[in-house]
Structure 1
Amino acid sequence: MTPHHGFTPFFTGDSYISPASKPDWLASALPTLTFYPKAIGVVWRASRQASSGRYDSRHWCESSLNIVRSLETVGCRLRVTGIEQLRKIDRPCIFIGNHMSTLETFVLPSLIMPWVEDLTFVVKRSLTEYPVFGHVMRSRNPVVVDRVNPREDLKTVMNEGGKRLAEGYSLVIFPQHTRTVQFDPTQFNSIGIKLALKNNVPVIPLALLTWAWSPGQLHKDYGPIIPSRTIHFAFGEPLHVSGRGTAEHQQIIDFIQGNLDNWHRQDSD
C-alpha cells in the first residue's frame, strides 16, 4: 500500500529496532529530567498549532516521531514487529490492544499514520481537558468516553466510532478500564470487536510493553523514564470478525498475552 499524507514512513521494513547509541552523560545520569523538557517542547509546539487550527495529521505524525527520538536520545530502545501488517491496510480498521502507559498514546501515531487515511483514538474525557495537551487531543477528533457508565460508553463508541469509520478514520481502542502493567484478560472487554462487527471493518491486534515510561506517584501520566526497560510494539494479522466475534476476541487476547510472555522472557535473559 502507498503511504498516506505525502511522506515516507520512518519505520520501514517489517520490524524496527532502535539504533545502538550511547546517550550523553547527562541523559545517562538523569534520563527522566532530560526527557521531559524535550517532550514538553514537542507538546507545547503542537498545542500552539492545534489551538490555531494548523495542526493536521502530518504534524501529529511528526510530533509522535519527535517523541520517539527523544526517548531514544535518553537511552530507551524501541522494538517494533509486524510493520508488514500495516502495509495490508486498504480501508478504515480498528487497532485493539492492551494499555500500559502514556507512551503508546504519543508513539503510536508515528507507527500507524503513514498507512491509514486518518487516525484517532477512543480516549477518556480528561485527556481532552488537560492544559496544553488537550488542544492537541481535541484536534484529532477523538471518540470521548467518561469511563463512569459502561453502558453509556458502549453507546458512545458504537455511535461516534461508527461515524469516524464512515469518515475514513481508523481507530485505536484500548478495551481496559484503566492502564496497567499486568495484563488481565478478564478486564479486556469486547467493545472494539462489537464496533468492527457492526461496521464490517477489520481489526488489527496490538500488543505493547511500554513500562519504560512508568506511572508517577504525584500524577499517573508522568513518572520516571527507565531506559533499561525495552519498549515493545507488535502488530498482528488483520482479522475479519464473524459471528459474535468471540473467536477473534480470544485471538487478540492470546496475541497480547503471548507477546508479553515472550518479551518478559527475552528481557530477563
Structure 2
Amino acid sequence: MPTAFDNSFFSRKFLVGDSYHSAAVSPTARSGLLCSIQFYGRLFLGPVRWLCAKAAKGECTDAAWVYASTRVADLMEQAGCPLFIDGMDAIEAVEGPCVFVANHMSTLETFLLPGIIRPRRQVTFVVKKSLTTMPFFGAVMRSRRPITVTRTNPREDLADVLNGGNSLLQEGISLIVFPQSTRSRIFDEHHFNSIGIKLARKAGVPVVPIALKTDAWGKGKYVKELGPIRPGMPVRFQFGQPMPITGNGKEEHAAICHFIRSHLQRWEQEDGVNGEA
C-alpha cells in the first residue's frame, strides 16, 4: 500500500499545501438543535454507515478510511463550521515515522486527523481498548491496527504503548497520541502526560505537536461522543515542526505544552469561549 499520495488512491481535500482554509460557509439549518439533528443524520447514514459496512466485509482500507474522514469534514463545513488547518508541511518534514502528540477536545479530531495525515504518511492511533470492541465501529478501529490502552492500569498501558508502538514505528507507521486522560475544552498540563515523548524516545523518532480546537463538536450530556454541533464555530488544527528527543525529553514535553497552550489562548481570543467547561 503506498505511503505517499497517489491521485487514484486518496481524496485530495487536504492535499493543498501547508494550509487548508474553508471557503465561506453558512449553516444548512438556522437553529443549533436542528443543525445537530441534520449533522448526525447525515453522519450516521452517510460516512459512518458506509465505512462500517466496509469494515464488516474486511474492506476498510486506508483509502476508505481517508474518504470517510474527508466526508466528515465536508459535513462540518455544511453545518457552518469552517476548517482552518495550518502547518501541514510538518507531516512530511521527516523521512521516517514520527509520533503526533495532540490535545484532545472532542470526537471530531479522531474523525478528521486520518484524512489530514494518512495521504502523506501511514498512521494509526493509540486508543482506548473499548473503542475496538464496540458494535459496528469497533471493526473499523481494529482494521487500523491501533495500540490499545485500558486506562485502568497506567503501568500496563505504558508498557503496551512503548512495546506495541515501537513495533509499529519500526514498520514505518506513525502514531497519533492524545496524552490527556479524557476529552476536554480546557487544556490542563497536569493531566497531559509524557507518554508520547517516552514512545518517541524509545523508538528514536521525532514528535510532531498538534494544537487543536474542535469544540464546534461539543460533549454530549448523556452520550459524550454525541454533543451539540455549533454552527459558526471554527475548527482549528495547527501542526508544529518535528522535535527530536534529547536527554530525558522534559524540555520537549514542556515545549509541546507551550505550543498547545499558546495556540488555544490565541484561538479563544479570536473565536470567543462557548462557555462549556
Give the TM-score normalised by structure 2. Answer: 0.92
Distance 1:143 1:182, change over 3 A: same
Matched, 1:18 2:22: yes
SS in 2 for 1:30: helix
Match of 2:210 in 1: 206
Following TM superposition, by how much is the alpha carbon of 1:28 offset from its aligned partner in structure 2, in angstroms?
7.1
2:140 matches 1:136: yes
Question: Which of structure 1's runs of 4+ aligned residues deviate more than 4 A?
Answer: 25-29
**Alignment correspondent of 1:187:** 191
Contact 1:35/1:70, CA 8 A, preserved across alignment: yes
AA in 1 matched with 2:203: N
* CA–CA separation in structure 2 for the residues paired with 1:29 and 1:260: 26
The residue aligned with 1:94 is 99
SS at structure 2 position matched to 1:123: strand
Amino acid corresponding to residue 3 of structure 1 in structure 2:
A
Aligned residue for 1:165? Answer: 169
Please, which of 247, 265, 269 is the counterpart of residue 265 of structure 1? 269
CA displacement, residues 161-204 of structure 1 (integer Å, 9 cap, x when unaligned): 11111122110000111111100001111111011011111110
Q: Say which of 78, 82, 85 aligns to 1:77.
A: 82
| C-alpha separation in 1, matches of 2:245 and 2:194 | 12
Which residue identity is paired with 1:59? Answer: A
| Secondary structure at the counterpart of residue 110 of structure 1 | helix
2:159 to 138, 155, 163: 155
Paired residues of 1:173 and 1:192 also in contact (CA < 8 A) = yes
Q: Quote the residue 2:5 is aligned against.
A: 4
CA distance in 1, matches of 2:127, 2:54: 21
Mapped to 1, the partners of 2:65 and 2:11 lie a distance apart of: 15
State whether residues 209 and 256 of structure 2, in contact with CA within 8 Å, keep that contact through their aligned partners in structure 1: yes
1:47-77 CA deviation, whole Å, 9 max, x = no partner? 1111211111111011000000011111111
**CA-CA distance at 1:25 after TM superposition:** 4.4
Q: Is the 8 A contact 1:27 1:74 kept in 2?
A: no
Aligned residues: 267
Mapped to 1, the partners of 2:13 and 2:200 lie a distance apart of: 28
Q: What is the one-letter code of the residue matched to 1:240?
A: P
| Unmatched tracts of structure 1, length 5 or more | none
> Within 1, Cα distance between the matches of 2:31 and 2:169?
41
Contact 1:94 1:170 in 2 (8 A): yes
Cross-structure match for 1:63: 68
Task: Summarize the Cα distance change of 1:92–1:35 in structure 2 as closer, same or farther, 3 Å threshold.
Answer: same
Residue ranges of structure 2 left out of the alignment (5+ in a row)? none
Contact 1:120 1:172 in 2 (8 A): yes
Aligned CA RMSD, in angstroms, stands at 1.7
Post-superposition Cα deviations, 1:27-56, rounded to whole Å, max 9, x if no partner, equal: 877110111111112111111111211111
1:221 Cα offset (Å)? 0.5
